[in-house]
Chain A
Amino acid sequence: MWVRMDIVINLIINGLATGMLLFLLAAGLTLIFGLMHVLNFAHGGLFVWGAYAGVWLYLWTGSFAAGLLGACSAGLLLGFVMERLIIRPVYGDPTRQILITLGVMLVLSELVKVFWGPNQISVPPLDFLEGSWRIGEIVLIKYRVFVITAGVLIFALLQGLLKKTRVGLIIRAGAIHREMVESLGINVKRYFLLVFMLGAALAALAGVLFAPYSGAIYAEMGMEYAILAFIVVVVGGLGSVSGSALAALMVGLASAFMNYFLPDAALAVNMLLMAAVLLFKPSGLFGARR
């Protein structure tokens, strides 16, 4: 009994940590879609750039904090450039948006290989977060708990931004009825850039947090995790941050458990989840209403 119990707890912690990372990735995606109606297929590229930029700085300076900062800056910068140069010209044209963001995803993934080579880079564990705590039979890996804490913190900050500030109010209203917000005299386009940069920074952050968690980073991880992020966003409801949070945890836990018991079916289970949601409640668990 006890042996199974501690494995279960381990899996739960694993799942929650993965879930938090997925949440960071999905939150940006869902915010961008909610306000701008742009589904950013390049989000995975931001994820992988955050990882590489952050890890590079971390290895160079020895400080993980520098890595975190570097990743966020990379995210903000890439987000800015992308929104201005690529997204702006194709507003209102969903077909071209979808096509072009996938192109950017490709370019970003390949650029990583240009700068850092095609092979994966291993990431050493962090000094102060290495190892684990023991509570009786249960082993809690420190880094995973850190990721969970970071995720909860960011969720709280995001909710605070959205619910308590005017900017958040505009973003929420804009996601529901953009035309009406404009009719009230507010220039919604100005907030597009803000939201895009925020989303990009979140994705990059997820990338750099992911690095010590998995021990290695590689160019293909962008697309892999982007697919999971899409699943999360569909299940949670496009445009809903709390929906993404819940869905991310669900998908994270499902992945963790499946990877332990039936690793080959992990992706399939998540896809089934997405298919089920699309069949029964396409607007997701927390779809917005007018």
Chain B
Amino acid sequence: MVRRIAAFRSRLLCGGITALLFLLPFLTDSRSLLILLTQIFIFAVFAMSYDLLLGYTGIVSFGHAMFFGIGAYTVGIWMKRGEATTESFLLSILVTIALAALVSYLVGMLSLRLKSHYYAMLTLAFAGLFQVAAEKWRGLTMGNDGFTFSVPDWLRDRETVYFIALFFMIFAFYFLLRFTRSPMGRVLQAIRENEQRTEALGYRVLDYKVAASVLSGILAGLSGLMYGLTLRFVNTSVFSVEITLDVLLMTIIGGVGTLVGGIVGAALIELTHDALTDLAKVHPLFERWIILFGIVYILAVLFFPKGIVGTLQNWRFARPVRREPDAGFEGEKV
């Protein structure tokens, strides 16, 4: 009963916030606020895609920036090469999906059957490789300097982009929500809990993991594409470790295994980014705000592994801790 009331309350809250977000461009003139929120929406999808891997399937990837960068560069290159038309834009979306799927599939098949450490190492190395490739392949990417590009007219308007990003986030959220509650989503969670047992139950774990990795990669790629779209500029920083660390922070601080956590985390990190960058103009100490984040991150992993949303959920629905195993156990013996 308590659960139902609480669920109703949170639905109300979500509905209220969503309505507010929709009305916001009409309520305010602040361009920077719109831009900031757009960024938050985009990174929220990025974080949720990461949560799918880490929170739901239990896979640690250090190369998520790869997909982000693929999306950003794809839209950039397509717009620049193919003239800023809507057809090019739609094509770039398709290419992003294809590329992200391909890369995540290959990397996944190569190393997901091994221990988690290998996947983490490999993705770190691959992300590094992509960054180096982006730097060297100047013909395509203009190297470190990057390049600006234009987009179709209807996508120039800040408010249009804001709404697209908002829809993007809401769509991604609901899609992932349905997915994680589907039978397939449950298998992924079973894999996170106990991989060997899931394998023993007859599921081909590798296939599921690769599938999760591909889905996650595609969403991350699309968020990168959106990022490029809003900035109309891309350089090698989209492949950097900082991006991967950002998404790690967002997911962990927001709450692993709770999609909402990604949104909360993204909002928090982006807001703090913004605030600290302003403060940096006041005092140089704040230029090294990354350290602050790093320390908060370490503390989070140590003491609040469930993140903000996770901890809140625990408080709300905490049951008295039982000391003795009750009769409800399956009774399977070894």
Contact = CB atoms under 8 A, between A and B. Distances in A.
Contact of A107 (B118, B248, B295): B295
Nearest to B291: A110
B291 A98 contact: no
Interface string B280-322: 0000000010110011011001100100000000000000000
Given A39-B120, A282-B118, A103 B129 contact: no
Contacts of B54: 95
Contacts of B149: none
Contacts of B120: 39, 41, 98
Contacts of A107: 291, 294-295, 298
B241 interface: yes
B126 interface: yes
A271 B118 contact: no
Of A106, A110, A111, A227, which is in contact with the most chain B CB atoms at under 10 Å from its CB? A106
A89 B297 CA distance: 15
A278 B110 contact: yes
Nearest to B136: A264
B172 to A, nearest CB: 23
B60 A39 contact: no
Contact of A102 (B125, B136, B248, B302): B248
Interface residues of A, number: 37
Contacts of B252: 99
Contact of B125 (A90, A111, A230): A230
Given A114-B291, A223-B241, A227-B125, A103 B116 contact: no
Contacts of B132: 267
Interface residues of B, number: 36
A54 to B, nearest CB: 22
Interface string B93-113: 000000000000000001100
A114 B129 CA distance: 27
A145 interface: no
B302 A90 contact: yes
B125 A274 contact: yes
Nearest to A102: B62
A39 B125 CA distance: 14
B56 to A, nearest CB: 12
Nearest to B285: A114
B125 A86 contact: no
B11 interface: no
A100 interface: yes
Contacts of A279: 110
Contacts of A264: 136
Contacts of A271: 125-126, 129
A213 B112 CA distance: 37
A279 B122 CA distance: 12
A156 to B, nearest CB: 28
Contacts of B117: 33, 39, 94, 98, 238
B255 interface: no
A100 B110 CA distance: 25
Contacts of B60: 95, 98-99
21 contacts: A33-B117, A39-B121, A41-B62, A89-B302, A90-B301, A90-B302, A98-B116, A103-B248, A103-B298, A103-B301, A107-B295, A110-B290, A110-B291, A227-B128, A230-B125, A234-B121, A267-B129, A267-B132, A271-B126, A278-B122, A282-B114
Given A102-B62, A227-B124, A264-B136, 13 more contacts: A33-B117, A86-B302, A99-B301, A100-B301, A106-B294, A106-B297, A107-B294, A110-B290, A227-B128, A267-B132, A271-B126, A274-B125, A279-B110
Interface of A: 33, 39, 41, 86, 89-90, 94-96, 98-100, 102-104, 106-107, 110-111, 113-114, 223-224, 227, 230-231, 234, 238, 264, 267-268, 271, 274-275, 278-279, 282
Q: Which 9 A-B pairs have the closest CB atoms?
A: A107-B294, A39-B117, A106-B294, A230-B121, A110-B291, A103-B298, A100-B301, A103-B297, A264-B136
